[in-house]
Each structure stands twice: as structure tokens, then as C-alpha cells.
Amino acid sequence: MNIPLTPVRFLRYAEQQFPEKTAVVCRDQRFTYAEFAERARRLAGALRDVGVGPGDRVAFLSLNCHRLLEAYYGVLEAGAVLLPLNIRLAPSELSLILNDSGTKALFLQHEFVPLVDAFRKSVSAIQSFFVLDSAPQLPWLSPQSYEEMLTAATPHQADILPIDEDSLAELFYTSGTSANPKGVMLTHRNIYLHALSVCINFRTKDDAVQLHTIPLFHANGWGMAHSVTLVGGRHIMLGRFTCAEVFRLIERERVDSLSLVPIMATALVNSPDRQKYDLSSVQWISIGGAASSPTLIRQMEEAFGCECFAGYGLTETAPVLSTAKMKPSVQLEDDRRYAAQAMTGYAIPGVELRVVDHNGRDVPRDGKTMGEIVTRADGVMQGYWQQPGETAHVMRGGWFHTGDMASIDESGSILIVDRMKDIIVSGGENISSLEVENVILAHPGVYEAAVIPMPDEKWGEVPKALVIAKPGSSLTVAELLEFCRSRIAHYKCPRSIEFLESLPKTATGKVLKKNLRQAYGTNPHVATESSARR
């Protein structure tokens, strides 16, 4: 008898083994695993009561909270498909996603009622709107709140055996940083095996205390909604990211692990409030979502006194593919270790990674030759929702093509050089915007930086740097240019530098370079001494 691989088994196991153990902490509320599982079953029963059937899409527009975590299990228990929505999208973007997915029911937090009201009439398939955290006050909202639905519902627990592990379980839309968002289809099997890989890689144990700093609407919550549940660890929910709240929760709950995007890490290491809190419980911090720098890895380890390393993955891979966590057999001095821990890293269990040229052949493992990362992995998506052409394009040759350009060394560690579209081709030379950004970020006066191509009559393209200086810094263009010239070849150095107040970002902190290219890539904004000699 084959038992289907489905994440609903994770919560059932945790309830059986740890019924009285604290499972979820959300603001001032605490739920045991018995309570967590019961609420998920009641959500499943409530969904069935309102006509949600097998395969129907159920969307959640919510900050990180216990209700969204419950949906990761309750929606699947009902046989439906979970669609977490990015809270920072515009009405037109949300309308596009909900229409494209054919969503049947939408759950939303009260603060997003005006946002949903702005587009709800343009979404034809949605039959019901439910408020998660308050009493409904508008006629188009269901008269029952989320809590009233759960109280009135008969708990439902699905029969495991008929579940098709290759059927759709979760639907996540890509960020749309370069095109319209695409629906990424993750199956029960994808999610189950990805969670096992994450548990093995991070050695997740039943005493784990994970702070959910990454939004659960982003890239399967980086797998933590499942891996922590599987081992009976504790979920600490963070609604909105602020440094003070992160520090407070770490101290109060004795958090031992958290994941960050670079902008979050940068904010934490530069926060003057950090010294006020006891952060000694933290054992490791992973940084992903965008490229990190050795400087940031070093700053995080010094600030938190814990291990910090980068990781890599995509929405299409559920998402984790690799980690730069040091292998026990590898011993490096600090500077080399920081550089290694800022790399894309090596494949986690269940993942195959290659770096190939344009003919699909492996590039030399010399740590220099550039190629595209391709992968075969248990977490690789079933495909893009209703886009067979796009699916076939990225899945060609039996490997998922990431679009990320990288090199690979003899140990199998990968270093992303850039996205294909972000490579700057100047005078026939390929320039990695990430390499230039890492050099700029090493300057003590720099808070953030992004490098984009700018048209040039002689060279075709040249790098332009957009920089945010640290508060109180007196950094000048001339100083930063000289800093770059002393560390990298002159042809890689920015030909112009502009200081900004902020950089446009996605909800998870990824810099929107397409916006920067549109706003600054065709306008030189030439600063003093910006015409660097090659």
C-alpha cells in the first residue's frame, strides 16, 4: 500500500506526538499542536460548508499570522488549493491574479478591505469574501467572520489514501519583476519532499523555535511552514517587519533561527536598538531572496554571535535549492569563510544543480567560467498555471532553467554572477552587477546599492550605481569611485553614481531593477568624476 506524499501528514504527525506542546505564537495568542490541528480541521469543514470543492482555489490576503498558517493545512484538508497573495500588490495586479487563477473564495484581513473593495467587481469567479480578524461591516462580505466560521463548522479530516500526490496543492504567483506574474503550481509531492530536504539540511529538531520573518505569501514561506510543523517545532509569527519587533520576539521566545532577505539583515545590523536585547538564543540565520555580500555575512555574525549563511532558490522550486552553510569538513579563515558563506552554495539533499553553457554542456568547474544554473529537484514545480508554452521553455531537456548566470568550483559550490537580463555587456566584456554591488557594499558608508546598465555610445553599456548612504555619512562620488577602482578592474567600475533616498523593492525586499532601468538607465545623471577611465 502506497501512502501519498502530502503535507497534511505533517500536522497530523505533530498533533499525535506533541499535542500539548506550543505550536504557534501569534502576538499574545498561543496554540498547542492539538489546537492548531483542530483549527485546521474546522477550516476544512467550513470551506466545504460554503461549497469549496476539490481543486478549487482559495486565496488569502494576509500578513503573517496563525490564520494564514492554518490555511496551509486546512485548505488542503478540504481538497482545495491554497493561493497566498502578496499584500503589496496594486488592485489591478491582484485582480489579474485572482481572475487568472479562477479563485472561488478570498479571505482577507480587515486592513485590506478597502484594497479588495477597489477591485472585487472585476473578479467574476469569487463567490465569497471572508474577513479574518474582525466582524464584517460591509454587505459584500460574508456575514460570518473567520472565527465564527470555525466555531460553527464540523471539523473535517480528509482520507489520506485517495489523495493524488501529483495534484495541485499550492499556487504562488511570481513577483513579476520582469514580466506579468505567472502562477507556479506546487504539488503535494513537491511540498512534502521539499520539507524533508529542508529538515535534513538545517538539521531541524523538535525544539526548533523559528521566527517567520519571511512572508508566508512568498515562495512557499521558504518551506518553514512545513518543516517546522513536521518536527513539532514552534512557529513565531511576525506580522510586519520592524527591527524592534524582531529583537523583542527573539528575546521573549528564545528564537533560535530565522531567515532574512538582505534588506532586513542590513536594517538589523544597523539598528541602534540591537544592544538593548538579549539575542543569545539565535543559532543560525539564513539570507536569501537576493544576493548577499561577504560584508553583510560578517556583520550579521558579529552582531548576533551566530552562524550566518546565504541560500538560493526560486518560487518554481518550492523554493530552496542550495545553501552556503559551511560543511563540517571545510575549515576556512574568516575572510575566505565569509566569502564562501555569501555564495549561492551547494545543493541541499534532493536537488541536482548544474551550470551549463548555451549548448547545455557543463562549464568547467574552475569558479570562473559563466553559465546558466539548471536543476532537477523534488521541489521543482509541476509547471506554470495555464501556460504550457512557458512551462515547456523553462523545463527543456528535462532540467528546469533558472535564468541565473553563475560559476561553479571544483567542490560543487555555485556563485551566482547575475540574472541573464542584468548582465552588463560593455565593450564585449560581461560585467556582473552583483560583483560591482558587493564591492560598493563593502564601503562602511554605504547602506544599500544597486547597479544597472546605462547606454554608452562607445562601449554599448556601462555600469551605473544607485547608492543609499548610511545616515550621517559624508560619502562622496569621488571617494566611492576610488574605493571601487582599488578593488576591481576599471572597466567594471561605475561610470556614474547617484545617491538616492530609497530603492524600489518587492514585498520581500528584492530590488526592482526593471523600475530602476526605466527611471535611470536611459538618463546619465552624470555625477562629478563619474566618467571612470577604463
Strand 105-108, strand 320-323: pairing: unpaired
Q: Cis (ω within 30 of 0) for the bond into 319?
A: yes
pLDDT at 418 over 90: no
Give the count of beta carbons closer than 10 Å to the beta carbon of residue 203. Answer: 10
| 481, 491, 521, 532 from 528: Cα distances, Å | 10, 18, 18, 10
For 482, the domain range is: 423-520
Domain total of the chain: 1
pLDDT band at residue 333 under the 50/70/90 scheme: confident
**Does residue 289 fall inside a structural domain?**
no
User: Given the C-alpha cell 512557529, which residue does it identify?
Assistant: 235
pLDDT at 493 over 70: yes
**CATH code for the domain in which residue 456 is found:** 3.30.300.30
Helix (H) or strand (E) holding 344: none
Round to whole Å and give the CA distance between 469 and 467: 6
**Does residue 496 fall inside a structural domain?**
yes
At 273-284, the pLDDT tens digits run 999 999 999 999
**Does residue 462 fall inside a structural domain?**
yes
**Does residue 495 fall inside a structural domain?**
yes
**Does residue 85 fall inside a structural domain?**
no
**Does residue 486 fall inside a structural domain?**
yes
At 320-331, the pLDDT tens digits run 999 999 988 888
At 462-489, the pLDDT tens digits run 999 999 999 999 999 999 999 999 999 8
pLDDT band at residue 291 under the 50/70/90 scheme: confident
HSE on the CB side for 208, CA within 13 Å?
Answer: 24
Mapping DSSP to helix (H, G, I), strand (E, B) and coil, where does residue 324 land?
A: coil
pLDDT band at residue 421 under the 50/70/90 scheme: confident
Which of 149-163, 386-400, 479-493 has the lowest average pLDDT? 479-493
pLDDT band at residue 265 under the 50/70/90 scheme: very high
| Residue percentage of the chain with pLDDT more than 70 | 97
| 29, 31, 158 from 11: Cα distances, Å | 19, 13, 13
Q: Residue 322, class by beta-carbon neighbours within 10 Å (0-12 exposed, 13-18 middle, 19+ buried)? A: buried
**Does residue 31 fall inside a structural domain?**
no
- Beta bridge mates, 415: 407
Round to whole Å and give the CA distance between 96 and 173: 11
Mean pLDDT for 495-514 is: 88
**Does residue 441 fall inside a structural domain?**
yes
